[in-house]
Amino acid sequence: MVRIGIIGLGWMGCLHASYLSGIDDCQVVAVCDKDPELLQKVAAKYDARGYAEYQELLLDEEVDAVYIVTPQKYHFKIAMATIAAQKHMLCEKPLALTEEEISALRTAVSDYPKKIIIDFPQRFSVATQEAMEEIHRGALGDIHFMRCNFRFSMKKHAEIHGAWVFDKAQGGGLILESSVHMWDAVRYMTGREVKSVVAVAHNNMGGNFEDSFVAIAHLEGGAIACVDMSGWLPEDAVCDKRFELMGNDGMIYLDEMRNFMTIQSEKGVENNPSAFTTSMTHKDVLWHSHIAGGVKRLNKHFIRCILRDETPLISLEDGARACEITWSVVKSLESGKLEEVTYGK
């Protein structure tokens, strides 16, 4: 049994608690939040101990694994404290806000015996994993282009997530807060590192906050990737999140919010055991599904890794590199030039 403590009971923290309650071999035994009314409510719902300070939760000897689900400005110090307490750790993205914090975390986990995972649920969507099966089978051949787009409405973000989302000092801004998902998907699905980026952005909100941006990246081996994001869909509009991969022999198109994956390949797509066609569409489920959504499946994977002493699919290094790519995007916005991506060690 993996006993879990959750630090931060906002929108995502409560989602994690809900998913974990439906997974065998784990139990939420402790929760932490500054809001006393919310803390009492969630602690009672899961029959868990409630703590107002994260330091108190980390001292709880019955907690095996810690979930860090706070505003981003707190990720680093809580992660470092969790490592010092020798707990397994899931950290929400982005991992940290500065290069110095990333460097310190890399050093802290250089020989860390516990399991760590960063919450990039895109890797665990059914369609993404189906796509990776086809990529590994060679259906696309050599991948030379990937496009990712993520469009949503930010008009209720302050109400749902908190006003800190719009404060770069607390959340890092839209580019860091959200596009790390896309850059991780680029690295994971192409199997290549991002070498350099150039970007343009738009500010429709006033102040120092980009609401939309487009970045073009050079990848290892000569491939390119394009990532575009916008927070200006109409209020309550359905999110739009898509991925396209092009190779010498085929292509894959994923539409996460409309729930399908289309694959076309000159090498054939298996539509029934031993029966092949050149094109096929797969159904998928929404990322937040309690049945088989990406976050639920990521949580199940993490619990299994702890119980079986397996290596999680997503590492702290993956979280660090996604941050480093976004910082190069920001540098490009400031310089107006192509910027190299510098990865730490």
Of 94, 120, 146, the last residue of a domain is 120
Could you tell me if 63 and 130 lie in one domain?
Answer: no
pLDDT band at 285 (very low <50, low <70, confident <90, very high): confident
Least Cα distance to 148 among 224, 201, 222 occurs for 224
Could you tell me if 100 and 141 lie in one domain?
Answer: no
Could you tell me if 156 and 228 lie in one domain?
Answer: yes
- Measured at the CA of 90, the angle between CA 85 and CA 92, to 5 degrees, comes to 120
**Domain-located, residue 222:** yes
Could you tell me if 34 and 150 lie in one domain?
Answer: no
Could you tell me if 330 and 225 lie in one domain?
Answer: yes
pLDDT band at 103 (very low <50, low <70, confident <90, very high): very high
Q: Do 83 and 104 meet the contact criterion of CB atoms below 8 Å apart?
A: no
DSSP 153: B
Arithmetic mean of pLDDT, 226-249: 91
Least Cα distance to 71 among 167, 207, 155, 193 occurs for 167
Q: Where on the phi/psi map is residue 172: left (φ > 0), alpha (ψ -120 to 50), or beta?
A: left
Largest CA distance in the chain: 59
Q: Peptide bond before 94: cis, by omega within 30 degrees of 0?
A: yes
Q: What is the reported pLDDT for 152?
A: 87
Could you tell me if 99 and 145 lie in one domain?
Answer: no
Structural domain including 176 reads: 122-286+315-340
Distances from the Cα of 300 to the Cα of 11, 97, 165, 204, 295, angstroms: 20, 28, 28, 39, 9
Arithmetic mean of pLDDT, 169-183: 85
**The residue to which tokens 């079986």 are assigned:** 308
